[in-house]
């Protein structure tokens, strides 16, 4: 087909119509807000100042989840996972500075820290999973993973702002693993294994609202004041007495990424413990806002397709004879 | 009679033998991966769970394969019929690029036996950008093979079948423009959920737009790249005048890309980071240099008419936009305490995929009516070293 001026103008007009359709399709929709905490949400409160680093929780987690020990030295003398992995869902790490003489002190001190799933209120892993293998329970808010649905794409591993879901790289039949707050145990009326065995109540299970109140209570008391700390479950009668430490004035997980169901208290800045400051708006909300503004109800793509069908039909009508 | 004709000639050449060997090496490595797991072949880790296979084979490979999309857009939507001779070869390269991008995903995903969940509504998660990308790419691969049916039909079908195919083909061409518009932007959009893991110079809500514009420019660049190589390797008459006007599209797309990229960075107050991000500053500037150079080179009509300028500009553009993707997903993706550099095995699998594309492209243009039958092909065994560098 020769390119006459007329044809060119017609082409340009059709192209313009398509461009206009595309522009309509990308008109911004309302921003997707962070998701809200489910009313019956449960979680953990981890108080770094109470933790003695005994790692009973690591052992209990293995037993509850059927994972095997991991070794970080050639001589396999003890279970020594350096981090959570495809086979370790919970670890206690240590922060140490200088002489590491004083517990819960930033300079020349040390502190313990728990690493396991934060059970985000608005989790990225759930938002990004293409096959709904990551699910957030609408009642309890527990973020669970269903390996029978998972295709092993590892988008959750890459996107989680806390780097929690982990993949098993050393097997032809890999899977994603992460803490599921001992959902099967909870179904039997038990509490998560890590909270059950914690001798000091550093890991405490309970409804998120109650955990937030408890964290607030501890922070509201003056350093040095003796008070009671519950073990296992918030509000339980199994308590011990201890003086209030000097807390960092923030409850980690109260706002980060729209909040998490694992809350943390500590005596040294959270950043030193591997928990960086994170903004309030979840990345899931940001990503879904863009996605929705482009694809809400598929209106945009359908309108664009209409324009394209019109233009292409018009411009290929006479092609067959010529080709 | 068709305007298109097979090139003919022997299929056993130095190029095809080398490509075949590379494909065989890839097959061995892939087998090893399926027996011993991803960790046995790749350097991917829980800190860098996506590596070369996703970032090159999918992110860059499909963008390099946007020639079909880019040409369909000008020829069928904007009605620039004069580019018709470039459509078929571009579509062929796109078909292979996308098909093999899809195949490499099967090598990459850990639980491939569940891959069918992607097309099963019960499993679909509509908020997942990756689901959209996966569905669009699968649909687009199918659409391209359908778009290519006239080529098979010309060789094997009767007139009646050809007429029927041509009657409905416009639907597939239109869908074939819609789908890449969706998934090429979403390939960038997948980055948004990564949040603060990605350096602010690359992390922006405008990333879908930047990916779309650069993918289109890569589509036109690959057409220039390929047409220049085919012209020189198979001693065919130059399509230089067409490539000059296609280079104009590259020019304007690049201008749009650079203006949006820099304006976005300026508006968000991130300009300082351009100078203060160390290694990432270097990568950022290198990217922008590679994308800025074609703008300078192609700006004048006289310069734009020169084949060398067209070719160099296309190569710079492809390298710059490829680097933009590598940077965004790997270099600027910063997981403290973790490192990633692809293993030899990963590289050889990617090389094998590229070799397979080259091989299939050569077989198709020699046996099927893909290239415009402008002149009789001469001595197509010449200069195989050039053909070996043909990516798509």
Q: Residue B145 domain-assigned?
A: yes
Chain B segment 152-191 residues within 8 A of A by beta carbon are 162-163, 166, 169-171, 173-175, 177-178, 181-182, 185-186, 189-190
- How many structural domains is chain B composed of? 1
CA distance B116 to chain A (A): 9
Average pLDDT estimate for B275-298: 96
- How many structural domains is chain A composed of? 1
Mean pLDDT of chain B: 89
Domain of residue A238, CATH code = 3.30.70.20
Q: Residue B171 domain-assigned?
A: yes
Q: Residue B107 domain-assigned?
A: yes
Q: Residue A14 domain-assigned?
A: no
Going from the C-alpha of B100 to that of each of A31, B22, B130, the distances in angstroms are 37, 15, 18
- Per-residue pLDDT reduced to its tens digit, B78-115: 888 888 888 888 898 899 899 999 999 999 999 999 99
- Per-residue pLDDT reduced to its tens digit, B303-345: 999 999 999 999 999 999 999 999 999 999 999 999 999 999 9
Q: Residue B283 domain-assigned?
A: yes
Interchain proximity B195–A159, CB inside 8 Å = yes
The Cα–Cα gap between A144 and A153 comes to 17
Binned average pLDDT, 10 residues per bin, chain A of 323 residues: 49 54 52 93 97 97 95 90 96 96 95 97 97 96 97 97 96 96 95 97 97 97 96 96 96 97 97 96 94 85 91 78 43
Name residues whose C-beta falls within 8 Å of residue B338's C-beta, 6 or more positions apart in sequence: B45, B46, B47, B48
> What domain range is A245 assigned to?
42-281
∠ at Cα B127 (B126, B132), nearest 5°? Answer: 60
pLDDT, position B40: 96
Sequential DSSP letters for A224-278: T-EEEEE-SBTT-S-EEEEE-----S--BTSSGGG-BSEEEE-SS-GGGGT----
Interchain proximity A127–B46, CB inside 8 Å = no
The Cα–Cα gap between A18 and A16 comes to 5
pLDDT, position B392: 36
- Per-residue pLDDT reduced to its tens digit, B233-284: 877 777 778 899 999 999 999 999 999 999 999 999 999 999 999 999 999 9
Q: Residue B105 domain-assigned?
A: yes
pLDDT, position B382: 37
Interchain proximity B80–A313, CB inside 8 Å = no
Q: Residue A63 domain-assigned?
A: yes
> What domain range is B286 assigned to?
10-361+379-388
Q: Is A114 exposed, middle or buried (0-12, 13-18, 19+ CB in 10 A)?
A: buried
Domain of residue B33, CATH code = 1.20.1630.10
Going from the C-alpha of B213 to that of each of B181, B249, B255, B334, B365, the distances in angstroms are 9, 11, 10, 25, 29
Q: Say what the ipTM of the complex is.
A: 0.89
- Per-residue pLDDT reduced to its tens digit, A74-93: 889 999 999 999 999 999 99
- Per-residue pLDDT reduced to its tens digit, B26-55: 999 999 999 999 999 999 999 999 999 999
The Cα–Cα gap between B236 and A209 comes to 75
Q: Residue A320 domain-assigned?
A: no
pLDDT, position B373: 73
Q: Residue A18 domain-assigned?
A: no
pLDDT band for position B7 (cuts 50, 70, 90): confident
The partner residue sitting opposite A290, judged by closest CB among B84, B177, B205, is: B205
Interchain proximity A11–B335, CB inside 8 Å = no
* pLDDT at residue B300 tops 70: yes
Average pLDDT estimate for B126-152: 91
Which residue, among B228, B246, B188, has the nearest Cα to B212 in the 3D structure?
B188
Q: Residue B1 domain-assigned?
A: no
pLDDT, position B86: 85
Q: Residue B371 domain-assigned?
A: no
Beta carbons of A65 and A74 less than 8 angstroms apart: no
């Amino acid at each position: 087909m020769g390119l006459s001026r007329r044809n060119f103008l017609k082409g340009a007009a059709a192209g313009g119509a398509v461009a206009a359709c595309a522009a309509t399709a990308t008109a911004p929709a309302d921003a997707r807000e962070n998701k809200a905490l489910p009313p019956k949400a449960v979680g953990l409160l981890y108080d770094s100042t109470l933790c003695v680093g005994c790692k009973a929780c690591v052992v209990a987690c293995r037993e509850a989840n059927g994972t095997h020990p991991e070794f970080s030295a050639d001589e396999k003398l003890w279970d020594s996972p350096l981090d959570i992995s495809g086979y370790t869902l919970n670890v206690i790490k240590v922060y140490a500075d200088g002489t590491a003489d004083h517990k819960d002190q930033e300079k020349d001190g040390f502190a313990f820290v728990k690493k396991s799933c934060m059970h985000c209120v608005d989790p990225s892993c759930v938002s990004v999973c293409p096959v709904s293998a990551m699910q957030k329970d609408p009642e309890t808010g527990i973020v669970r993973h269903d390996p029978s649905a998972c295709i092993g794409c590892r988008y959750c591993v890459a996107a989680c702002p806390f780097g929690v879901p982990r993949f098993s790289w050393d097997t032809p039949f890999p899977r994603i693993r992460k803490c599921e707050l001992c959902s099967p145990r909870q179904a039997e009326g038990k509490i998560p294994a890590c909270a059950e065995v914690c001798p000091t109540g550093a890991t405490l299970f309970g409804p998120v609202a109650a955990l937030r109140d408890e964290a607030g209570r501890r922070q509201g008391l003056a350093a040095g004041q003796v008070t009671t700390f519950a073990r296992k479950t918030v509000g339980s009668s199994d308590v011990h007495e201890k003086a209030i430490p000097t807390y960092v004035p923030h409850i980690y997980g109260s706002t980060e990424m729209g909040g998490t169901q694992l809350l943390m208290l500590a005596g040294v800045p959270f950043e030193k413990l591997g928990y960086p400051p994170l903004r309030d708006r979840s990345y899931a909300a940001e990503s879904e806002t863009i996605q929705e503004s482009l694809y809400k109800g598929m209106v945009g793509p359908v309108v664009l397709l209409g324009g394209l069908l019109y233009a292409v039909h018009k411009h290929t009508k006479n092609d067959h004879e010529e080709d | 009679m068709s305007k298109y004709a097979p090139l003919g000639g022997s299929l056993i050449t130095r190029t095809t033998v080398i490509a075949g060997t590379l494909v065989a090496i890839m097959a061995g490595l892939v087998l090893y991966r399926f027996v011993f797991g991803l960790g046995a072949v790749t350097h991917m880790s829980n800190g860098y769970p996506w590596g070369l296979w996703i970032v090159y084979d999918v992110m860059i490979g499909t963008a390099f394969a946007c020639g079909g999309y880019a040409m369909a857009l000008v020829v069928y939507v904007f009605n620039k019929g004069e580019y018709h001779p470039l459509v078929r070869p571009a579509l062929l390269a796109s078909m292979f690029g996308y098909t093999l991008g899809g195949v490499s995903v099967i090598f990459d995903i850990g639980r491939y036996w569940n891959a069918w969940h992607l097309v099963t509504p019960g499993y679909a998660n509509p908020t997942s950008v990756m689901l959209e990308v996966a569905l669009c790419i699968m649909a687009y691969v199918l659409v391209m093979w359908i778009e290519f049916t006239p080529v098979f039909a010309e060789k094997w079908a009767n007139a009646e079948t050809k007429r029927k195919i041509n009657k409905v083909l416009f639907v597939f061409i239109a869908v074939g423009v819609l789908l890449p518009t969706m998934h090429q932007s979403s390939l960038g959009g997948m980055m948004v959920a990564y949040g603060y893991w990605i350096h602010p110079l690359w992390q922006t809500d405008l990333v879908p737009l930047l990916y779309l514009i650069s993918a289109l420019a890569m589509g036109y660049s690959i057409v220039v790249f390929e047409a220049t190589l085919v012209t020189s390797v198979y001693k065919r008459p130059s399509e230089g005048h067409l490539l000059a006007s296609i280079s104009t599209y590259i020019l304007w797309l690049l201008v749009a890309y650079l203006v949006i990229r820099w304006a976005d960075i300026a508006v968000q107050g991130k300009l300082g980071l351009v100078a203060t991000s160390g290694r990432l500053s270097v990568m950022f500037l290198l990217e922008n240099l590679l994308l800025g150079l074609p703008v300078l080179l192609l700006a004048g009509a006289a310069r734009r008419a020169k084949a060398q300028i067209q070719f160099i500009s296309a190569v710079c553009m492809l390298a710059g936009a490829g680097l933009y993707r590598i940077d965004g997903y790997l270099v600027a993706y910063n997981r403290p305490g973790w490192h990633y550099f692809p293993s030899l095995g990963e590289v050889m699998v990617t090389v094998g995929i590229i070799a397979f594309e080259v091989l299939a492209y050569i077989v198709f243009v020699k046996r099927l009516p893909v290239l415009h039958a402008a002149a009789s092909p001469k001595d197509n065994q010449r200069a195989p070293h050039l053909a070996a560098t043909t990516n798509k």
